[in-house]
Chain A
Amino acid sequence: MKKLILSLVVLGTVAAGARAASASYYVEYFRDNLFAGLAYHRVGCMTDWTTIQSNQDYDGFTNNRYCNAGATAASVPNASWYTYEFLGDSFADAQNRLNSCGNNTNSSYGTPDYAASSNTCGYNIFTNCNSDCWIRYFSTCMGQTVGTISPCFGYHYP
């Protein structure tokens, strides 16, 4: 009986180790809820589920920083986790996809280099010019549209 328990423990450890050994990458989405209302800023960070993998915030319409490389992926400063997308086991491929979609979204919303203000539309929580719509477009580009709550009137994804 003792041997059986020991074997199970060893097997469990090996299985967990095998899982940890093959790094996988994700975009995890966080939301900063302001003042307990329905005002959110949303941001995507690249993670390996344990730590954040880059300093790039995938968001628009703010200068605030959320994604800090090396920090725990379970949370980002002042924001809570809300969903994720699996990006595969290649760091380079995952990062290329993220940056490509980030650039596409920046072009669409006039937020070059993830700017805090658009140079093509006036910020409006009801229309297609806010961080909800930005992250909707970005996540759609990534392949899995995340939930948002701005109606984004005028939204169009090619």
Chain B
Amino acid sequence: MRYALVLGAAALAVIALTQIGSTPATPPAPAPSVAAAAKVMPVRPRLPPRPGDAPPPAMDEPILPTATPEQRADIAERARGAARPGMTAFRAFSDLYVDGNLDLARRQAESEGLTLDQVRDLTSFGLMVLATQRVSDVEEIVGRSLTEEQRETLSALMISANGEFKEKLRALVAAGASEAERWKLIRSTQSEYLIDFYAATGMNDDLLDDLLAGNVNLPGAPASTQPPEGPVPPASPVDTDLHPERPR
């Protein structure tokens, strides 16, 4: 099998890198903010744009966090011996991704009436769900092709779980539910998704860990990649507008 749970010291450093600062004291969830939502949800203009019309708004460039050597050493020590190395590495990269977009994450939290920790957790979960939809990778790990019915079930699972979760979450928030109630919904959604995913594909916890670890024969797999030493600004804009306006 191409996928393997091979985690070196470098990967462990990466894994742990995100543990620092990833569990801040949880502030009370704010009420959903219309203003915040307007900033982060683009709106399609009603009229078809023509050449010469104002272009879509330019966006800021992200600034990425750096980890000091001391932080890396500390993290490597704390992360050693993770029970689920693939999941741990995957989560580490997900957290780095959120850390690189903290302003957007805060606005997303405000927009949905969530805490930053909840946005962080849901981001990781969303990315994991996307990973479970990479059918060719799943087939390689389970060692057989999925039937057309299984593929359809898998695709529908993501769509239904996502839609139902957001509907329930927004209802909870609108009803003034506590942070604990929102966490309960998040956890039950996560566990139900995995139960259904395993049933649809033949995957299990161990195989999911392999999937998330990535193909260590290819560059970039979470299980074998060391992040760059410093911040490298991307050469293109960051999508920070939650509500862009589409021309009519």
Which segment of A2-10, A99-107, A146-154 sits at the interface?
A: A146-154
Beta-carbon contacts under 8 Å, A106-158 to B: 115-129, 131, 136, 140, 144-155, 157
Closest to A65 in B: B155
Q: Is the CB of A147 within 8 A of B241?
A: yes
Q: Is the CB of A36 within 8 A of B119?
A: yes
Q: Is the CB of B235 within 8 A of A155?
A: yes
> Is A58 interfacial (CB-CB < 8 Å)?
no
User: Please, how many residues of chain B have a CB less than 8 angstroms from a CB on the other chain?
Assistant: 78
> Is B124 interfacial (CB-CB < 8 Å)?
yes
Chain B residues whose C-beta falls within 8 Å of the C-beta of A86 in the assembled complex: 49-51, 53
> Given A74-B246, A117-B136, A120-B218, A35–B239 Cβ distance below 8 Å?
no
Which segment of B76-84, B101-109, B196-204 sits at the interface?
A: B101-109
Smallest distance from the beta carbon of B136 to chain A beta carbons, Å? 5
Smallest distance from the beta carbon of B30 to chain A beta carbons, Å? 14
> Given A37-B124, A39-B126, A74-B44, A122–B238 Cβ distance below 8 Å?
no
> Is B240 interfacial (CB-CB < 8 Å)?
yes
Chain A residues whose C-beta falls within 8 Å of the C-beta of B246 in the assembled complex: 28, 74, 81, 84
Binding site for A on B (CB under 8 A): 41-44, 47-51, 53, 55-56, 59, 62, 64, 93-94, 96-98, 100-101, 104-105, 108, 112, 114, 119-127, 129-131, 133-137, 151, 155, 158-159, 162-163, 165-166, 169, 189, 214-216, 218-222, 224-225, 227-228, 232, 234-241, 244, 246-247
